[in-house]
């Protein structure tokens, strides 16, 4: 690392939130730009965050009976076209392979933008009887969508994700699955990433291409914009019919099975950055931080300091805390800035005087709070502190969301709140597409979701005034 | 699963080894064919084997200081062309993306056949000083090579692998890395997959495109053909020069760094099948078997049988044995055949009389041996039995390799051995490409490697008779 790299400060988030984000992403060594627009390099520190998220989700998927598989990365054009809504949604942003070696292909192949069609094709081979159902699959891979504007993590032409795909004998079971997976995403966000979420249904306009129902979790970023953070789709038997997947039920009658899919992507890392970050850089939730505790020796040339620091690292590693010592010849000031930029949740400082007093100083990245710890209590206190950091971060994010969520009773009111204060705006909605379009055109907001937890804030649609029984949350979204 | 699926026997390996292989791959539920030639679907059982191999290797990579990253899947044509030998080796088998959405791309992009050029491009951005070195990276991904003939696991147009890429200040350090990684592959094969290997250098002809040196591990399959099972490449500073990667050394002088790369792929699963399988199907090494112990209740309708079988499963899971019970209404005979086909290392049978006697019967898939176990000793004996299965499988494979490795002192002798007996043939070799080509043309064998463990079996090249100081192993390879 060039020694002077961190001297260049990052842009203030209040001055230019977008530039702040880009600065953090680059200076915290998360991302490098590749030679192709929209294709990003996840550097070790960025990828380690994803690995930690993967391991949380993968465990939950397996505990709920899902199995990992690997599907091809290429989809023949004819396969993509089998489901009408799906192809309309995805064909315009496909990257197409037209040459294999130097030979033009007979049929062009798109790099998967998502894999519903591949799973359906496979199921049409292997699903025969009710005994074969359910099949509950997941894959970890990257997908390509040829977007016009791109940003690291938030909108890549290529991004890493997991896509779950399941097939069931009954609609009830498939709906149950769709809800269960959304709940797993919500749990991951709230209890691991310290990101409060709103759970709800997407409107028809915002549904996934080909889905009967899309459930979503929506998070609020520091700039009060919304980030769709995970989605779960119920397909009914539409895909099964399009791909002619049938099974013999217990009475030996041929039926169409019901499907779901659900995904979470590296986009969530963008969400972590924009939920928790500050003007010193990243602030990482402890449960997914690649380094949870950085131990910095102070006056490390003095006898015994480096050894003691290393001893603390070893003791923490022994209790499965991801601890690291930095024994480089960079100055303490440089190191403080470096690990603040990288969002390490706890910094431990230990110098000659601390050693004399059998203590160390722990500094919380999220609040700057300093705590003096007796070294004998290290194994007890550090996990508690990490837990406390998580809770503080979650509460702070929750407060931000609550303080920037308002009710409105007309389009004008919604527009004014958005322009002056920003955030999430709740209104009643009649369900008409025209009203949804009007909110977009006139107030610049899309419907984020119809929350599962409905509130009765009026009887009429805020846009058209007709009777309405649904409460919608609107916002400006990434 | 259709009840009658397993009734169809698989082809005898002595009758048609290739068809036997394909039958096993399909009937053990490892693979399904996709709509694109050479792109295979890894079904849950096949992918679980890969996950177990991944977790072994990933742990070893991390223990030796490597970090995971994610590189883009697309390489601009101009980037691929920067290193002359490399592009010559790979361009003929690239799949090219020429359209993004409906727009023709200004420069065509190939789907990565391997990622040296991407890592080099990244390093040219981030390597500046000796302080930045080494960078030791790995990625888990899939790559595409537009092959003409394809076979599940052995030759896919797309295959899953890991590719390690490292960059070092000195040649010595890079060479050391190259050797270390080969040793990790050898350890994985021998001590986890029960596959004995021969370690050695590739000849210039067989080297990786752009490498100064390629190290390989070669395994012998049941049909006596060779499988290259893992390779590690030393690049010198050739790529660094082609990509203009320089660093300031401790004296602040600009130098070129030295690079390596190394990879192991899902091909190794083909190797596991062809090393250990038999006419009843797969035989899996216990350490990577998705199910290590299948517990089958006998007369499960009798009171207490299913409960007892479940209790055994739970006890085994508690000691981290991957155990499963099959309580379906399929017949015991069907279940025996099913889990034999799937190569589950140990089958435990437990029926009413066993329960009376506080015992169960364990059957080893590899040898068919039956052992009666006292149920009180389950936790002690099962891990021992799994270890014994591993050792037996390794010894058997080693014996096969040793019995089919011969010395020859002339091309004619080598040819005759190959035609009558098959296997690996050791000869002295002068080092000339012409002699290597002659062995290929006249005896149908390629050089597998110049083993690290050299033997002096003569003074002259078996092909041309000129003085020779290298012993080469030749074979027919997958």
pLDDT digits (tens, 9 = 90+) for A186-224: 999 999 999 999 999 999 999 998 999 999 999 999 999
Question: At A1, is the pLDDT very low, low, confident or very high (cuts 50, 70, 90)?
Answer: very low
The architecture in CATH of the region B291-389 reads: 3-Layer(aba) Sandwich (3.40)
Distance CA A38, CA A40 (A): 6
| pLDDT for A4 beyond 50 | no
What predicted TM-score, i.e. pTM, was given to this entire model? 0.96
B106 in contact with A, Cβ within 8 Å = no
**Helices (H), strands (E): how many in chain A?**
14, 23
CA distance A268 to B124: 29
Rounded to the nearest angstrom, the minimum Cα separation between A96 and chain B is 5
CA distances from B131 to A3, A201, A437, B136, B260 (A): 9, 51, 55, 13, 19
Specify whether the CB–CB gap between B332 and B302 falls below 8 A. Answer: no
Architecture of domain B5-276: 2-Layer Sandwich (3.30)
What pLDDT is stored for residue B214 in this prediction? 97
Q: Are A94 and A143 contacting, i.e. CB atoms less than 8 angstroms apart? A: no
* Residue A259 C-beta-side C-alpha neighbours within 13 Å: 27
Q: Which residues of B283-293 are buried (b: 16+ CB within 10 A; e: fewer)?
A: bbbbbbbbbbb
Considering only the beta carbons, identify the residue of B42, B74, B93 that sits closest to A36: B74
Main-chain phi, psi angles of A58, to 5 degrees: -60, -40
A372 touches chain B (CB under 8 A): no
| Closest to A256 in 3D by CA, of A267, A247, A243 | A247
- B160 touches A: beta carbon within 8 Å: yes
The per-residue pLDDT for range B418-467, each reduced to its tens digit, is 999 999 999 999 999 999 999 999 999 999 999 999 999 999 999 999 99
How many residues are listed for chain A in this entry?
Answer: 478
pLDDT band, very low/low/confident/very high, at B86 (cuts 50, 70, 90): confident
Alpha carbon of A372: minimum distance to chain B alpha carbons (Å): 32
Tell me: the pLDDT tens digits for B203-253?
999 999 899 999 999 999 999 999 999 999 999 999 999 999 999 999 999
| Dist. CA A88–CA A91, nearest whole Å | 6
The CATH number assigned to the domain with range A289-400 reads 3.40.50.800
A28-276 placed in CATH 3.10.180.10: no
Say if residue B390's pLDDT is above 90: yes
Using a CB-CB cut-off of 8 Å, the residues of chain A touching B95 are: 74, 97, 99-101, 109
Direct distance between the N- and C-terminal alpha carbons of chain B, in angstroms, rounded to an integer: 32
The rounded distance, in Å, linking the Cα atoms of A157 and B139 is 19
Q: Which residues in chain B have Cβ-Cβ distances shorter than 8 Å to A76?
A: 35-36
3-state secondary structure of A281: strand
* Distance of alpha carbon B321 from alpha carbon A80, whole angstroms: 42
Residue A83: φ, ψ to 5°: -110, 120
Write out chain A residues lying below 8 Å of B88, CB-based: none
Q: Which pLDDT does position B8 carry in this prediction?
A: 61
pLDDT digits (tens, 9 = 90+) for A270-286: 999 999 999 999 999 99
Minimum-distance CB partner of B36 among A35, A109, A146: A109
Partners of A126 on chain B (C-beta within 8 Å) are 32, 43
Question: Does A111 contact B109 at a Cβ distance shorter than 8 Å?
Answer: no
- The DSSP H or E segment spanning A39 is none
pLDDT in tens, A53-76: 999 999 999 999 999 999 999 999
- Nearest CA-CA distance, residue B383 and chain A, Å: 24
Residue B89 is predicted with a pLDDT of 87
CATH class for domain B405-475? alpha beta
Inter-chain contact A36–B76, Cβ cutoff 8 Å?
A: yes
Contacts of A47 in chain B (CB under 8 A): 67-70
Is residue A386 within 8 A of residue A393, CB to CB? The reply is no
Q: Could you tell me which chain B residue has the CA closest to the CA of A1?
A: B132
Domain chopping of chain B, boundaries: 5-276, 291-389, 405-475
Contacts of B380 (CB under 8 A, 6+ apart): none
ipTM of the complex: 0.95
Say whether B405-475 and B5-276 share the same fold.
no
Please state, rounded to an integer, the average pLDDT across all residues of chain B.
Answer: 96
What residues in A contact B100, CB-CB < 8 Å? 95-96, 146, 157
Tell me the sheet residues that pair with B75.
B110
Instruction: Determine the pLDDT at residue B3.
Output: 41
Residue A211 CA to its chain's centroid (Å): 21
Task: Give, rounded to a whole angstrom, the gap between the first and last alpha carbons of chain A.
Answer: 32
């Amino acid at each position: 690392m060039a020694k002077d790299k961190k001297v260049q400060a990052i842009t203030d988030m209040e001055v230019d939130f977008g530039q702040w984000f880009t600065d953090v992403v680059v200076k915290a060594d998360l991302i490098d730009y590749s030679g192709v627009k929209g294709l990003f390099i996840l550097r070790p520190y960025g990828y380690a965050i994803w690995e930690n998220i993967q391991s949380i989700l993968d465990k939950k998927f397996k505990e709920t009976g899902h199995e990992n598989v690997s599907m091809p990365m290429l989809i023949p054009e004819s396969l993509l076209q089998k489901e009408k809504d799906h192809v309309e949604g995805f064909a315009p942003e496909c990257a197409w392979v037209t040459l294999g070696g130097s030979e033009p292909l007979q049929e062009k192949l798109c790099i998967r933008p998502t894999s519903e069609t591949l799973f359906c094709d496979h199921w049409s081979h292997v699903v025969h009887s009710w005994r074969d159902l359910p099949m509950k699959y997941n894959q970890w891979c990257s997908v390509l969508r040829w977007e016009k504007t791109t940003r690291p993590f938030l909108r890549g032409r290529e991004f890493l994700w997991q896509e779950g795909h399941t097939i069931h004998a009954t609609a009830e079971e498939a709906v149950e699955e769709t809800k269960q997976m959304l709940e797993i995403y919500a749990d991951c966000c709230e209890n691991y990433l310290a990101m409060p979420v709103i759970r709800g249904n997407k409107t028809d306009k915002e549904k996934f291409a080909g889905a009967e129902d899309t459930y979503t979790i929506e998070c609020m970023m520091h700039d009060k914009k919304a980030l769709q953070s995970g989605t779960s789709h119920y397909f009914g038997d539409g895909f099964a019919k399009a791909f002619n997947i049938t099974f013999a039920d217990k009475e030996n009658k041929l039926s169409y099975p019901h499907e779901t899919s659900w995904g979470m992507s590296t986009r969530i890392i963008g969400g972590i950055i924009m939920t928790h970050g500050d003007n010193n850089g990243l602030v990482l939730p402890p449960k997914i931080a690649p380094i949870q505790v950085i131990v910095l020796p102070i006056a490390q040339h003095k006898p015994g300091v480096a050894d003691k620091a290393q001893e603390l690292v070893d003791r923490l590693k022994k209790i499965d805390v991801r601890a690291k010592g930095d024994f480089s010849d960079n100055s303490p000031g440089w190191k403080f800035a470096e690990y603040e930029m990288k969002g390490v949740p706890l910094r431990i400082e230990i110098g000659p005087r601390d050693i004399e007093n059998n203590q160390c100083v722990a500094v919380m990245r999220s609040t700057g709070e300093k705590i003096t710890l007796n070294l004998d209590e290290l194994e007890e206190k550090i996990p508690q502190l990490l837990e406390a950091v998580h809770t503080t971060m979650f509460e702070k994010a929750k407060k931000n969301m609550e303080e920037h969520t308002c009710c409105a009773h007309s389009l004008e009111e919604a527009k004014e709140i958005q322009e002056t204060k920003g955030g999430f705006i709740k209104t009643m909605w009649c369900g008409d597409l025209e009203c949804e379009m009007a909110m977009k055109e006139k107030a610049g907001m899309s419907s984020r979701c119809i929350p599962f937890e409905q509130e009765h804030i009026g009887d009429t649609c805020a846009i058209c005034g007709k009777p309405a029984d649904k409460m919608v949350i609107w916002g400006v979204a990434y």
